[in-house]
Structure formats: C-alpha cells, structure tokens
Structure 1
C-alpha cells in the first residue's frame, strides 16, 4: 500500500501525566508501524476532551485538498466517535474516520496477560471494567470483549462500566462478593492511567490490573483499523 496522507490520531485526553506519556508513545508506535507496513503517514495528535489540540482545530489546519484520516485512539464506539469525531470529519472534505481500536480479540489476549501478571488464580472472580457509554453499540462491544476474555481465561467474565451504562463497576464487585469467591479482579479495559482508572481503584475490588498501555498489540490493532479504512476507500474510488 502506497498511501501518503495526514493521519490524525485522536485520543480522549487526560490530566494524568503518565496517561499522556502512554498515549504519546502509542501515537509514535502507530506512526512507525504504519510506515513499516507501507502506509506513508504524516501523523498529528488531537483530543476530544481535557487536552489540546482539539480535533476540530487540527483538521481545520490541514492543507485544503489533501486527504486525511481520523484514527480514534479509543477502545469502543461511543459519544466521541458517533458525535465529536463524526461531526469533525464531515466538516472537512476528503477526510475519513477509522474505527476505534477495539473491540479486537487480540485485546482479550492482552487482558488475560495483565490478569496473569496481577496474580489471578482459580476461584477468583473477574470483571471487565470499561469507562462506559450510553451508545448501545459501544456497550455491546464491551460485552463482546468480556466474552472473548472469558474464553481466554476459561471462566465467566462480567462486563461493567464506570459511568453511563449498567452494571456499574461497584455493583458488579458487590455482586461477586455476595456470590463468594476468594477475590474479585478488575481487568482494566482502559488504554492508560487517568480519571477512569483511578475510579476503578476505589471500586472495592481486591485487584485492579494496569491499563492496556504500554503494549505493541494496541498499536497493531490501531494500524489495522487505519489499513481497513484505507482499503475501503481505495475500493470506493476505483
């Protein structure tokens, strides 16, 4: 593939400095892996909340007539993909939007690794903890990730949310406490440290795994999303 275009890697944004560094590293990994896979990218950073530069401003600054792709560094469909990113993309001709990084079965493998590193044992209960969204498709995607993680672990995994959707993470932890079991583990389905990961640490679980970053797997998933939208666009152009 010999594409040369602007790629706007759009993350949520966070005040957490460790979270900012993790996303910066991911963006650099995505740019490097894209080029190694033959996608000639000019990478830009952008955010939909908390941090700048804002996505609208980045797109407005790009040269008129040059192609661009917004690559969401987000794990699932939600308000930011369906409203913020979609609106920004429509505001600039020649701009495409890739799908979010997840759901992706490889992320279930990564989550299972995080749980193993945290000491998951027989008898422990597992909750997949996501930030949460009111968008039904996004909730379904998290439930799918929980099912894939359950297959990796060979045990049931409950999907829960930090906000906007049910069950809430705290309620899922309480439920497992009532059912018995030695410990309750939260598998953090978040990219990086920040507000929502801090909420998980106050949920009452025995163990909370670290976020998905750093991991080369996340960059691989993101580059696949970029390649998919470019492949689709090339077929539409032909």
Structure 2
C-alpha cells in the first residue's frame, strides 16, 4: 500500500488468477489480503479492494474495531503509567472515510468501557478533532497533578505514531505492536475472508 514496494496489486496478481480463469463456480480463492489497518479508509476500499477485484482473491476486514484491541491499548496505557485522574485521548491515524471515522469512535467507546473511564478521540490526520485539539480539550478542568495520556491507536512506530507523540500529551502509550491478540484478530479476519 501507498509508498511500499511491491504494491498489493502486484502481489495479488502474482498469486491469484483472473476470476474468469477459474474453472468452476465457487472455486476457492487463491489469495486473501489481510490489511494491517485498524479501520476502513482509502487503502482498504480502494488499494486493497482494487487489487482483489476481478481476481480469485478476497479482502479481509480491517482489524478494528474489536474489544481485544481495547485490551491491548489498556495494557499499553498501564505500561506507560496511566494513573487515576488522568484524562485519556485515544489517537487514531485518521481517515476521510466516514465509516472509518465511526469505527475509530467505536473503538474509543470500547476502550472507555474497558478502562471504566471517559476516553475522547483525536486523529493524527484528515479527520477532526486533531490529536492536539483533543489533548487541549482534555486538559481543561484537570486537577493540578493529573495528566493527559494518549492511547496510540496505531499498529507500529512510524509516521502516525510520531504525529501522536508530537501532539502535546503528557504521556504517550506505545503503539499496539506485535501483541498476540492483534495476531489473533488478523488470523480471524483471514479465516472469515477465506470462508466468505
């Protein structure tokens, strides 16, 4: 996707025949693309959707929202030293896609439920409010010793996590990373796409 090589379409083309080349109706897919993405957006719908269109291939759903991702974020927040009284902003990478924005907001609701406290949402890119705006809003009315802690709703260190880290939170939790629950979700998405 995006600037990486090889692109998804090239990989799918190398592993899955054109759909019309399949010998019988209902023949199994030859490739499943599991997006390493947390919500719907351009890459899922256009890049991956376009790569599998017309091929003996299928696209899996993005990894989120899922309560297990809330569990991973809760652990990352605990590792970062989240305290009672701290405000939590869940920082997603961002998208212009309304469905993707709604999925990130649903994920914030799941994290709020998991933590038993209010969680607000900010976006590093495209959607509003920005992470910096969400951090500033969360800071209003905090007790003197309370902090704003950002839950990084991105998979790995890199551009989007750097944007989250630069948005002014007092503490920024690590990205989700290679946690076993993330891998479990990816496998389930693969199996669901294969079964469909």
TM-score scaled by length of structure 1:
0.75
Q: Displacement of 1:231 after TM fit?
A: 2.1
How many residues align? The count is 184
Query: In structure 2, which of residues 165, 185, 193 is the aligned counterpart of residue 221 of structure 1?
Result: 185
* Aligned counterpart, 2:13: 60
CA gap 1:63/1:200 in 2 versus in 1, 3 angstroms: closer
Q: Displacement of 1:88 after TM fit?
A: 1.1
Quote the Cα distance in structure 2 between the aligned partners of 1:55 and 1:177. 41
Deviation string 1:166-202 (CA, Å, 9 cap, x unpaired) is 1100000111122324100000000000001111111
8 Å contact kept, 2:65–2:104: yes
Runs of 4+ in 1 over 4 A off after TM superposition: none
Q: Note the residue ranges of structure 1 that are not aligned, 5 or more in a row.
A: 1-47, 233-238
Structure 2 residue matching 1:56: 3-state secondary structure: helix
1:168-183 to structure 2, matched below 5 A, reads: 168-181=130-143, 182-183=146-147
Structure 2 residue matching 1:139: 3-state secondary structure: helix
* Aligned counterpart, 1:35: none
Q: Is it true that 1:191 corresponds to 2:155 in the alignment?
A: yes
Q: Is it true that 1:131 corresponds to 2:84 in the alignment?
A: no
CA gap 1:147/1:223 in 2 versus in 1, 3 angstroms: same
1:1-238 to structure 2, matched below 5 A, reads: 48-62=1-15, 64=17, 65=22, 67-90=30-53, 92-181=54-143, 182-232=146-196
CA gap 1:231/1:149 in 2 versus in 1, 3 angstroms: same
Deviation string 1:193-215 (CA, Å, 9 cap, x unpaired) is 00011111111100000111121
CA gap 1:138/1:54 in 2 versus in 1, 3 angstroms: same
8 Å contact kept, 2:48–2:59: yes
Q: Displacement of 1:82 after TM fit?
A: 1.1
Q: More strand by proportion, 1 or 2?
A: 1
Q: Displacement of 1:139 after TM fit?
A: 0.6
RMSD: 1.2
Q: Displacement of 1:63 after TM fit?
A: 5.4
Q: Displacement of 1:151 after TM fit?
A: 0.8
* Aligned counterpart, 1:12: none
Structure 2 residue matching 1:179: 3-state secondary structure: coil
